[in-house]
Structure formats: C-alpha cells, structure tokens
C-alpha cells in the first residue's frame, strides 16, 4: 500500500516537501494551524523579506517551483551601505551576475501552496493545530479550530515542518533524551516600509540590499515587485537608543531623523508603521535528535536561526533536497533515511546558526567600517586570483555547494590569513601590491 | 474574596507549597497526573533515595512536616568509600552530629500529601494531566484520565511544581521570550537493591552513604528503614564497561563480580533487578523566565538538576521557604512577589545545577583517590581552625544558610588555596605541619 505521510506546517519548507514526496508517489497530507493563505490573504507585519540564493534555487528546481519563484524575485547584486553622512558604498556580493533574490514570504508561500496542491495525492488541511502526537503509533491529533472539534489522523511518517515554534517539536520534547536549547536574542525587529514613488518606481537602487549600519543597531531595506521596499529596524530591547526608548511619537521621530535622515525622507508613514507593527523577537533553536520513531523535524523546526545570513529558507529547502537524495541512496528505507538525514544535516544546521548570529555584528557594525570594507576587497582579490582554492566566506555560504559546516570551517581558516594581511603596515596603501598576494599564495600552498 | 491557587504536581515541592499557602489562608487546589499514591502505592524502580539536609529540614519545620519526615529518616554521617580491593574508608560529611538523612521518596511523598490534605482549604485532584494553560486568564485545562473527560479550572495564581518534565513549563515555553536549555547527560542510572539480613538488620554500615567509585562509573547505596539498601548504578550509556555492554545475564554477572565483589555478595537478586528495572536518564534544565503573568515554575520544573549533590529536593523546599519570606516582604503583592522570587532564586538554581554536575566527577572518580581524600582532610582542618572564616564547600552547600550561589563562589575561591597547598612538596607527609596552616592564615587574611 502507498505510504501516507503527514506534514505539519504548510509554510515554505512544508509545501516544498509535499511536492518532493508526491513525486515519489506518496499520499501526502499537509496540516496548517493558520487559515488558508489563498483565501485569507497573508498576515504580514512580522515577516522579513526573504533572500533566495543558490541552495534555495537548486532545491526548488527539482520540482519546477523555481519558475514560480523567479516570476516574483528581484535580484540584489550587493549591499548598499548608507553612512550617517548620507554617502553610500556599494559592495557586490559576488562576481558577474551572482546575486541573491528578494522575495516576499507571503507571495512565495501562497504560490507554493497553490502549486503543491496540484501535485498528485497532496491534500492541504488548514485551521488544523497539532495538539498531540502518539510517536509509537504515528498518530496525530489536531484541533480543527474552524469547526471546533478534534481530528485524529493515522499516518506512516510524520514531518514537523512547522517552524521555530514547532508544535511537533514541543511534543517530541517529551520523548526520552530529547535535548533542546531555545534562546531569544536580546535584540528584536520592527517592520517598516518605503512606499513606491509617484510613478510606481523604486525610490532607492532596486537591485541592492540596503543597509544602514549604526554600530549597535541597523536598518535594512529589500525591494518588492510593486516598487516599495520592506524596511526592518533591528535593535536591542534595552540600553541606549534601543526599543525601550522608542515609545513616543517624538522619540521615534528624533531617532529616525538623527540615525537615518536619508531613509526617513522616503518614509511618510514612519510613526504609524512603528506603532502599529509589533516589535518581534528573534529565536535560535538547537536541538537533537530530530527524529523519534517515524517522526522527523525539518527546516526551522529543527534549527531555527536568526535572519542575518539570509539562509533560513535556503537551509530549509536544502534539507528537503538532501532528504530526497538520501531517500534515493537508501532505496526509500525510511528508518535508515531519517537517521542519516538527521546526522548529515545537524552539523550544517549548527554551522549556519553560528554564522547567522555572527553576521549581525558584521551587518550592523563592521559593514560600515572602512577597514572591514578593505578586508572584503582583499578577500575577493585573493578569490579571483585562486578561483579553485579560495572562495570568500560569503560566496561559500551563498553561492556554493559546500556544506555549511565546510564553509564555516574554511571561513575560519581563511580568516587567519586575512587577519595577518590586515596587520601589514600601510595595508590601506599597499593592498593591491605584491606582498599581499605573496602571503596568500604561501598560505594556499600550505593549506589547500 | 479568598484567592484560589492552583498547584500542578502533588510531588514533594507541590505538597509543601500547598501547606505554606494554606497557612496564609488561600484556597489551594493541587492537580497531579498520577494516581493517588495513598491508594495505589508508589511506583518505584526509578527513584533514587533522597538525602534530606539542612535546607530541606528548615523549610519543612515551618509547617510541622519535619516531625513527619524525622520518623522515617536515617542519618548518614559520612561517605563510606568501597575500594576495589574490598577495603573501606569512612569520610565524615561534617563535624559532630552533622549528617544528611536518607529518606524514601515514595514514603515521604505519601505522608506529605496525607498531611497537606488535612490543612484547611487544600484539595487534591489525582489523575489530572495538565493539557493547556491560558496564561492571560489564569485558566487551566486538565485531562481527567480516570473519567476520560476534560476539566477547566479558573484560578488566580498557578504554580508549576510538576518536576523536570513539567507540563506547565511546556506550555510556558510557547509564551514569548521563554529561554530553555534541556540537556540529557550521556550517563544514566539503574536502581538495584541490597535486602535486609536474616534478622532484618542492615548488611552494611547503616549510618553512611556507601560509594563504590570506579573512575568512569560508580555504585551507591542508601539505607532504608526496613534494613534494606537502595542501590544505584550510575554509568555511561556508551563505551567501555557501560550500559551498552550489559545486555546479557553473563555480562551483568561478570561486571558486578569484577567491579563490586563486596556488594554483589549481598545482592542475590542482582540479575532480576537489573533486567526488570529501567535504565533511566538524567536531565538538566536551565530556563528563564520562571514567571509569566500569574503562573510561576518552582522546584525541578524551574531548575532540574542531576542528583549528585543530594540537593534537588532540598533546593525545591528552599524555593518554597524563600517564596514564603518574599510574600511576607511584599505584603502578598503577588505580581511583585513572583518577580522577586524568580530573580532571587534563578542564580541559586544555576549554582546548584553546576555543583551537582561537577559532583558526579567527585563521587565516581576523585572520592576513591588518596590525594583527593587528603585534600578533603586539609579543607576540614582549615575549617576547624577558622570556623568563622572558612567552611568546606560541602558544608556550605549542605549544612549552611549561605545561598547556593554564594557557596559556589566561595568554594571556587577556596579551591585556589587548596590547589596551592596540594602543590607543596611532600604534602602527604607534612599536611599537619605549620606550613599549611600558615598559607591558610595568609589566604584568609587576604580574602575573608
């Protein structure tokens, strides 16, 4: 008999997983606690725009969903750094046409559910909140919040693709020997907006990710298809200049006028946005095991990370793609496949989690500093000179097939070289000279 | 109107808390997912015997429950170390009559529930599993597993006193900004037994906690009132000599004969006990905040620790006593009291958690070593010479009113002195000489 697979969560990862499993001939039921976003419209105001990159595209491609995404994606070829003075620096992410792609989480999710629903034997059940799991019998209980009743579902395999606050994980936490570390950061975020110009045009450079680095906090902006930008202020909850001191209209006005004068000129609704949108927190989840009997966590449910490397969705999509490859390799032996999956992906989840935490410092503080910008230039110059031996850390994470763990390890090694180069006397003047490339060459001969 | 307080968990901490709150005139309802232990008998086989000490006694005293406990407690004045050779060393815990008290968890729990039930306005509800909490409305939902129905309860204040695997905490984990670190140790335990002798006598020294330290694992035995000892093997799950290699009768026989020849001679049921009793895991929980609106965690639910300092119950009882003092200090302003409670107790929960983890190393390995036993002797000699300035770490934790955090801090400071003393040449010969006390005196003049 055809196996029945339950996926809890109809978000990005759940929808993609449904498509992959349908292609393998399984009967797939997807349960989502929120209402059908195709009917209700996506509830925004808490969603950072996403940056789709290599790993995400690659995973989408196998199901044809890359075409769907491509129609609503805007390439961002680099960071546009906005200094307090109003001057800007553009720092390309990669080379040539390399880019990351701004995409609306709500639009992408809606389109993915639409497409997944067209796949054979895939059914979606909305307003179904997972309430209990019997891990021995692969049985789930849902609260059907629309009809105010409880529904029991028998399945063969269960996936928890229900995000950072996964109900499946809460249930799994009660199984023996489950370890979890759930930590909220002392900083959070608030979504704001730059509307389109009079003729619907983007009021800032469209093909860039804009950053206003201000040391302990920052603002970013990502382009939308309608000419607007989704703007996000990341800031500490407490301390100087933090959210705790932004409680009155006057405080908000003064803060933005002082810190982001160029941006605020384009934000007529700043006070309304600020007080109507929630201040959201950011959570990091490390847990293991991901699998108990025939239930398995995937995506954010297994490894929720902060958004600063733009890899949360990409990592979740890569989870799905690698699971698919493991199912091939094990001949769809699910017991073996889920176990291999968790051991293969756990170190990568851990690696991107750490990289993402670190990248907040890089974005909010270092990216605005001249010495750091110089370091990035030197890193790129070395990468261009030794394309088979050396890639920038950003490129390894964002544009390569290296595992996250490998990218992190190589990045740490390379960082020692870059630290040494930055110690050279007068590096600001001589960075294009022979000495730098000589050091790089020696390091590569020794380490690669 | 009289406030209604719900306590989830009728264990040791929940029962004691019920007595304290009854004394203040509140209406108290205690909900417990297990059956009434007064009817069903306590389900054993997974319970380490407890060691009641100063903090626990002090908290019991305020409700008169100390008399109840005293009737079933056996004083243990020190550790009896059993070497592989069969020789034993007795190491007193303190001075004079100082002792910790072996007590059966099941018996104590049953008696405490009996007594708490006699307090005014205290009601117990067994077979009630907490299923959902509305933290805004202080409303709980229970599954009444005896009558197979759901019950909703409205209260003013809710306590989660439901242990390491607290259902209240699982619900609280879904509230914003809750941080938790739940880690299982790579070692676990198995309960065994030494029955009474022919005439009902204890077959080992009654007034001691027996330890068979074997480096990477250990066995301990605590006396019971009926002449038996509850024996516990603590061991790693994997690796040489670990639980994974104790799967056949022959393996178990060989292991015990080699490692615990003196004890196994007194354990006729060793194989039956070993295979009938579960191998249990040990979990450590660090979380914060403990309070959300008018719901608060207390005891193991807030700070589950490993059992190696014998402080889990004592810490939970001290929680209750300090909460009571805080209610006095705040004039029963619950909002302020619960907030003060969590901030006052959190550093102490963290401290005893770390001390307990460390103490496994001391018990299983160091306690059997001559140099460590010498160190304990020197520590005690200094404590005897400077009673107002210096207490042994064990005494600070077990026999004093120092907060756990203060005890840990002082212990770490004192450890530096003891490290230095142990470096003295020929310390084995000259430890009773002048040099040691001179060093101690200088250190105390500088640091205390």
Cβ separation B165–A176 shorter than 8 A: no
Alpha-carbon distance B189 to B48, whole Å?
9
Q: With beta carbons under 8 A apart, name residues in chain B contacting A184.
A: 176-179
Contacts of B173 in chain A (CB under 8 A): 170, 173, 182
- What are φ and ψ of residue B31, in 5° steps? -110, 135
Q: Residue A119 and residue A21: Cα distance in Å, rounded?
A: 10
CB-based contact B48:B232 (threshold 8 Å): yes
pLDDT, mean of residues B271-291: 96
With beta carbons less than 8 A apart as the criterion, state whether B9 and B32 touch.
yes
Residues in B closer than 8 angstroms to A176, CB to CB, are: 184, 281
Chain-centre distance for alpha carbon B439: 35
Chain A residues in contact with B174 by the CB 8 A cut-off are: 165, 170
Separation between Cα atoms, residue A5 and residue A15, nearest integer Å: 13
User: DSSP 3-state helix, strand, coil percentages of chain A (rounded to 5)?
Assistant: 45, 25, 35
CA B367 to chain CA centroid, Å, is 19
CB pairs under 8 A between A and B: 38
* Residue B174 sits at the chain A interface (C-beta within 8 Å): yes
Q: Is the peptide bond before A263 cis (omega within 30 degrees of 0)?
A: no
Mean pLDDT, range B137-158, rounded to an integer? 96
pLDDT at residue B41, rounded to an integer: 56
pLDDT at residue A442, rounded to an integer: 96
- Comparing C-alpha atoms, which of B133, B170, B137, B147 is closest to residue B35? B147
Query: Do residues B140 and B125 make contact, with C-beta atoms less than 8 angstroms apart?
Result: no
Which residues in chain A come in under a pLDDT of 70?
Answer: 1, 40-48
* Nearest-angstrom CA–CA distance, A159 and B115: 47
| Cβ–Cβ under 8 Å, residues B30 and B155 | no
- SS3 string of A105-153? HHHHHHHHHHHHHHCCCEEEECCEEEEEEECCCCEEEEEECCCCEEEEE
Peptide bond before residue B289 is cis, with ω within 30 degrees of 0: yes
Please tell me the distance from the alpha carbon of residue B365 to that of residue B358, in angstroms, as a whole number. Answer: 11
In chain A, residues with a C-beta closer than 8 Å to the C-beta of B279 are none
**pLDDT at res. A40:** 65
| 3-class state of residue B235 by DSSP | strand
CA distance A42 to chain B (A): 22
Yes or no, beta carbons of B281 and A181 under 8 Å apart = no
**CA-based end-to-end distance of chain A:** 51
Burial class (CB in 10 A: 0-12, 13-18, 19+), B184: middle
How far is it, in rounded angstroms, from Cα A160 to Cα A61?
23
Confidence of residue B281 (pLDDT cuts 50, 70, 90): very high
Instruction: Please give the DSSP secondary-structure letter assigned to residue A68.
Output: H
* Pick from A170, A179, A281: CB nearest B183: A179
Q: CA angle at residue B316 from B315 to B321, to 5 degrees?
A: 90
Of A170, A181, A281, the CB nearest to B176: A281
Reported for B369-377, long-range contacts at CB under 8 A and 24+ positions apart, including other chains, are B371/B422, B373/B81, B373/B89, B373/B91, B374/B422, B374/B427, B374/B428, B374/B431, B375/B418, B375/B422, B376/B91, B377/B431
* B148 in A contact zone (CB under 8 Å): no
- The pLDDT score that the predictor gives to residue B45 is 43
Query: From CA A224, how far away is CA A149, in angstroms rounded?
Result: 40
Q: Does A150 touch chain B (CB under 8 A)?
A: no
Q: What is the pLDDT of residue A9?
A: 98
Measured between alpha carbons, how far is B402 from B311 in angstroms, rounded to an integer?
14
CATH number of B4-44+105-182+284-358: 3.50.50.60
How many helices (H) and strands (E) in chain A?
Answer: 17, 19
Q: List phi, psi (to 5°) of B51.
A: -120, 105
ipTM: 0.84
Opening angle at CA A210, ends A205 and A215, nearest 5: 150
Chain A residues inside the 8 Å CB shell of B165: 174
State mean pLDDT over B185-197: 96
Residues in chain B within 8 Å Cβ distance of A177:
184, 281
Question: Taking CB atoms and an 8 Å limit, are B179 and A174 in contact across chains?
Answer: no
- Residues 222-281, chain A, touching B (beta carbon < 8 A): 281
Are A29 and A153 in contact by the 8 Å Cβ rule? The answer is: yes
Q: Are strands B209-213 and B78-82 parallel, antiparallel or unpaired?
A: parallel
Q: pLDDT tens digits for B162-178?
A: 999 999 999 999 998 99
Q: Do B182 and A179 touch (CB under 8 A)?
A: yes
* Mean pLDDT of the residues in chain B: 95
The backbone torsions φ and ψ at residue B233, rounded to the nearest 5 degrees and listed phi first, read -95, 120
- β-pairing, B74-76 with A295-297? unpaired
Chain A environment of B182 (Cβ under 8 Å): 173, 178-181
Per residue in B34-82, pLDDT (tens digit) is: 999 888 655 554 456 899 999 999 999 999 999 999 999 999 999 999 9
Candidates B170, B179, B181; nearest CB to A174:
B170
Strands (E), A365-442: none
d(CA A288, CA A9): 20
- B145, B148, B149, B179, best to mutate vs chain A, most A CBs in 10 Å: B179
Chain A residues with beta carbon closer than 8 angstroms to that of B184: 176-179
CA distance B245 to B172: 39
Other Cβ atoms closer than 10 A to B403: 18
CA B99, CA B96: separation in Å to the nearest integer? 9
Q: Could you tell me the pTM of the whole model?
A: 0.89
Minimal CA separation from B194 to chain A, in Å: 28
Question: Is A180 in Cβ contact with B180 (below 8 Å)?
Answer: yes
For residue A41, the distance in angstroms to the closest alpha carbon of chain B comes to: 25
Name the packing angle between helices B312-329 and B334-364 (round to 10°): 160
Mutate to test the interface with A, among B180, B238, B289 (most CBs of A within 10 A): B180
Q: Which of A149, A176, A187 to mutate to test the interface with B (most CBs of B within 10 A)?
A: A176
Q: How far apart are CA B403 and CA B397, in angstroms?
A: 8
Quote the Cα angle for A28-A33-A35, to 5°. 100
Rounded to whole angstroms, how far apart are CA atoms A115 and A151? 26
Going by pLDDT thresholds of 50, 70 and 90, the confidence category of residue B25 is very high
So where are chain B's domains?
A: 4-44+105-182+284-358, 369-447
Contact A323, A305 (CB under 8 A): no
Which DSSP category does B53 fall into? -
Between CA A374 and CA B169 the distance in angstroms is 49
């Amino acid at each position: 008999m055809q196996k029945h697979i339950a996926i809890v969560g109809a978000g990005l990862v759940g929808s993609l997983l449904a498509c992959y499993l349908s292609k393998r001939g399984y009967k797939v039921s997807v349960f989502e606690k929120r209402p059908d976003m195709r009917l209700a419209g996506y509830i925004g105001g808490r969603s950072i725009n996403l940056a789709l990159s290599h790993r995400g595209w690659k995973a989408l491609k196998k199901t044809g969903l890359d075409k769907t995404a491509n129609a609503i994606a805007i390439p961002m070829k680099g960071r546009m750094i906005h200094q307090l003075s109003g001057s800007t620096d553009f720092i390309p992410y990669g080379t040539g046409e390399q880019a990351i792609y701004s995409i609306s989480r709500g639009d992408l999710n809606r389109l993915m559910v639409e497409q997944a629903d067209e796949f054979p034997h895939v059914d979606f059940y909305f307003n179904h909140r997972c309430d209990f799991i019997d891990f021995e019998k692969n049985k789930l209980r849902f609260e059907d919040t629309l009809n105010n009743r409880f529904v029991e579902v028998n399945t063969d395999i269960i996936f928890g693709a229900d995000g950072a606050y996964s109900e499946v994980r809460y249930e799994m936490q009660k199984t023996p020997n489950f370890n979890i570390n759930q930590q909220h950061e002392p900083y959070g975020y608030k979504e704001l907006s730059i509307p389109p110009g009079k003729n619907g045009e983007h009021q800032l450079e469209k093909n860039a990710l804009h950053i206003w680095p201000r040391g302990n906090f920052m603002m970013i902006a990502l382009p939308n298809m309608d000419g607007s930008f989704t703007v996000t202020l990341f800031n500490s909850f407490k301390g100087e200049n933090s959210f705790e001191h932004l409680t009155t209209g006057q405080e908000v006005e003064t803060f933005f006028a002082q810190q982001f004068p160029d941006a605020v000129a384009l934000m007529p609704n700043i006070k309304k946005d600020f007080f109507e949108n929630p201040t959201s927190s950011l959570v990091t989840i490390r847990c293991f095991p991901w699998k108990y009997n025939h239930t398995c966590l995937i995506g954010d449910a297994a490894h929720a990370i902060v958004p600063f490397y733009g890899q949360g969705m990409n990592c979740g999509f890569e989870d799905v793609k690698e699971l698919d490859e493991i199912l091939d390799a094990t001949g769809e032996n699910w017991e073996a496949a889920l176990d291999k999956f968790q051991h293969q992906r756990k170190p990568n989840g851990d690696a991107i989690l750490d990289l993402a935490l670190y990248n907040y410092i890089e974005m909010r503080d270092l990216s605005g500093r001249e010495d750091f910008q110089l370091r990035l230039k030197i890193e790129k110059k070395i990468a261009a000179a030794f394309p088979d031996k050396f890639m920038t850390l950003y490129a390894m994470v964002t544009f390569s097939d290296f595992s996250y763990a490998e990218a992190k390890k190589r990045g740490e090694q390379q960082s020692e070289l870059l630290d040494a180069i930055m110690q050279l006397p007068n590096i600001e003047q001589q960075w294009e000279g022979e000495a730098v490339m000589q050091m790089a060459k020696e390091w590569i001969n020794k380490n690669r």
